[in-house]
């Protein structure tokens, strides 16, 4: 005789009445009213998002429970539940009882609306996210159905809102490029993507990438003062500069992006079509030795009529024309051991006074750097007598990195990581109260002034070792595109 009616019961993983599958096989079981013997590889036909798939026979011969399993493959996608199609397909095999009678292959399909299939995955292709790529990150959506649409959201565990976007699946993998995440704070970035086709929207698939920030000063000896148009230390969480808008003299702090770059979006939004001038260059050393300029006429520029001042494609503070633009900062330090590091680009070599360090704001500088005589680094004693000078001969208006050191006996000057010049000092200077003038000598700024860009100014009460100095300068050269 023939077997009695066969029927199918769906066996769900873990006993859950619905399940989303994105890779593991979908287990299916047919229960019959008596034991059967199976030969060959019968299979169950499935409709997955309008595409015909088959679940091959796995086991159960000799019992009344036959197991099938469908291995999910790309780009399977069915958000409203798969459908089983009757009858059972023998696929060249047989299903018979002990007397050799064939099974009835027709069945009433069960409710499988809870069995969802979403084979797509997502993965960052930009890793890690940092200051060089934060404005153009990328990720892939893999194994999504062609013609579907997608939406994505990117967040940082450092807070700060989200970045969103959408598009269509035209290829496998679907590459999504040029995603600007610079508005997000440093932290672990989480990408979340959903895909939608005619059967609905799939579950969100996620992937993470490091957006943690490491500053160029993190591995160096502590600085006494550090100023830059980018973030220098991971421990620093303040603004980089404070600017004044020309139209109404309103001021606003400007911070950094996820990768540590100056937040130029915030800057241009605030300035609009106006010019903006820097009132404060914030100290990132942790010592709160901010460089300030309260007089509007003496404030260097950062935005010119709505356009950010740049050198070598990097934002820079611009000491413009023959004006007395400068910053001053005062504190107690020792000149017995000194390192001064500057990233700059002169507009003109006339009276190009990068900086000076002088006692009580009067007299001649104890240490200064002037472009008028070849980016010379000079040192004077307390009596203002010149005791040493180290002069570079390759003066020009290109961007440069220069580092000046004084170890208690010799003043040394480096330009672009090389061109070392040294000079012996004939006296020492005791600990006292000194101040740094950035872009001027501070006494006659309209005569001894700097005309050009500056990106960084770093001061240490120590002499950087050769490896540390080389590492710092190499990073600056790469970032600012100097020789």
Domain edges within the chain: 7-118, 121-211, 225-480
pLDDT (mean) for 171-190: 94
Position 4 pLDDT exceeds 60:
no
Of 1 and 297, which is predicted with more confidence? 297
pLDDT (mean) for 371-392: 72
The pLDDT confidence band at residue 23, using thresholds 50, 70 and 90, is: low
Burial class, 126, CB count within 10 angstroms (exposed 0-12 / middle 13-18 / buried 19+): middle
pLDDT at 313: 94
The CATH superfamily of 121-211 is Immunoglobulins (2.60.40.10)
Domains 121-211 and 225-480 share a fold: no
Task: Return the CATH architecture of domain 7-118.
Answer: Sandwich (2.60)
Place of tokens 């429970």: 65
pLDDT (mean) for 12-27: 55
**Average pLDDT of every residue of the chain:** 86
Note the pTM of the prediction, 2 decimals: 0.76
Of 10 and 211, which is predicted with more confidence? 211
Task: Return the CATH architecture of domain 225-480.
Answer: Sandwich (2.60)
pLDDT at 463: 93
The pLDDT confidence band at residue 16, using thresholds 50, 70 and 90, is: very low
pLDDT at 259: 92
Q: What is the 3-state secondary structure (H, E, C) of the chain?
A: CCCCCCEEECCCHHHCCCEEECCCCEEEEEECCCCCEEECCCEEEEEECCEEEEEEEEECCCCCEEEEEECCCCCCEECCCCEEEEEEECCCCEEECCCCCECCCCCCCCCCCCEEEECCEEEECCCCCCCCCCCCEEEEEECCCCCCEEEEEEEECCCCCEEEEEEECCCCCEEEEEECCCCCCCEEEEEEEEEEECCEECCCEEEEEEECCCCCCCCCCCCCEEEECECCCCCCCCCCEEEEECCCCCEEEECECCCCEECHHHHHHHHCCCCEEEEEECCCCCCCCCEECCCHHHCCEEEECCEECEECCEECEEECCCCCCCEEEEEEECCCCEEEEEEEEECCCCCCEEEEEEECCCCCCCEEEECCCCCEEEEECCCCCEEEEECCCCCCCCCEEEEEEECCCEEEEEECCEEEEEEECCCCCCCEEEEEEECECCCCCCCCECCEEEEEEEEECCCCCHHHHHHHHHHHHHHHCCC
Task: List, for residues 297-352, the tens digit of each pLDDT value.
Answer: 889 999 999 999 999 999 999 988 656 667 766 555 556 688 999 999 988 776 67
């Amino acid at each position: 005789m023939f077997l009695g009616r066969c029927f199918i019961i769906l066996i769900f993983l873990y006993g859950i009445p619905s399940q989303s599958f994105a890779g593991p096989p979908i287990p299916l079981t047919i229960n019959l009213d008596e034991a059967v013997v199976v030969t060959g590889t019968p299979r169950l036909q499935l409709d997955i998002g309008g595409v015909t798939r088959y679940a091959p026979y796995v086991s159960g011969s000799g019992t009344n429970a036959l197991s099938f399993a469908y291995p999910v493959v790309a780009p399977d996608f069915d958000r409203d539940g798969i459908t089983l199609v009757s009858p059972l397909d023998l696929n060249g095999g047989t299903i018979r009882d002990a007397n050799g009678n064939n099974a009835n292959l027709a069945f009433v399909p069960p409710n499988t609306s809870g069995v969802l299939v979403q084979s797509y995955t997502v993965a960052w292709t930009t890793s890690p996210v940092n200051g060089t790529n934060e404005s153009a990150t990328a990720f892939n959506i893999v194994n999504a159905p062609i013609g579907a649409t997608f939406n994505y959201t990117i967040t940082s565990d450092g807070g700060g809102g989200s970045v969103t976007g959408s598009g269509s699946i035209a290829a496998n993998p679907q590459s999504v490029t040029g995603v600007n995440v610079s508005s997000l704070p440093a932290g672990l970035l989480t990408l979340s993507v959903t895909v939608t086709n005619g059967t609905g929207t799939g579950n969100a698939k996620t992937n993470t990438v490091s957006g943690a920030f490491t500053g160029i000063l993190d591995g160096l000896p502590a600085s006494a003062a550090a100023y830059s148009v980018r973030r220098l230390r991971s421990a620093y969480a303040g603004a980089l500069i404070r600017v004044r808008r020309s139209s109404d003299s309103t001021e606003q702090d400007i911070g950094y992006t996820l990768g540590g770059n100056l937040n130029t979006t915030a800057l241009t939004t605030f300035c609009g079509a106006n010019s903006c001038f820097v009132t404060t260059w914030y100290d990132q050393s942790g010592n709160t030795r901010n460089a300030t300029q309260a007089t509007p006429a003496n404030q260097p520029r950062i935005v010119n009529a709505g356009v950010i001042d740049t050198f070598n494609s990097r934002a820079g503070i611009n000491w413009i024309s023959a004006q007395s633009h400068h910053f001053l900062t005062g504190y107690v330090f020792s000149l017995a051991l000194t390192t001064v590091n500057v990233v700059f680009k002169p507009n003109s070599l006339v009276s190009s006074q990068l900086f000076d360090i002088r006692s009580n704001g009067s007299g001649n500088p104890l240490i200064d750097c002037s472009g008028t005589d070849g980016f010379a680094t000079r040192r004077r004693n307390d009596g203002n007598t010149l005791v040493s000078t180290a002069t570079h001969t390759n003066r020009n208006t290109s961007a440069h990195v220069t580092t000046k050191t004084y170890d208690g006996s010799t003043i040394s000057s480096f330009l672009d990581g090389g061109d070392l010049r040294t000079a012996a000092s004939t006296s020492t200077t005791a600990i006292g109260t000194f101040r740094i003038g950035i872009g001027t000598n501070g006494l006659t700024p309209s005569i001894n002034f700097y005309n050009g860009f500056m990106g960084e100014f770093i001061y240490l009460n120590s002499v950087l070792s050769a490896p540390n100095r080389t590492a710092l300068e190499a990073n600056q050269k790469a970032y600012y595109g100097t020789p």
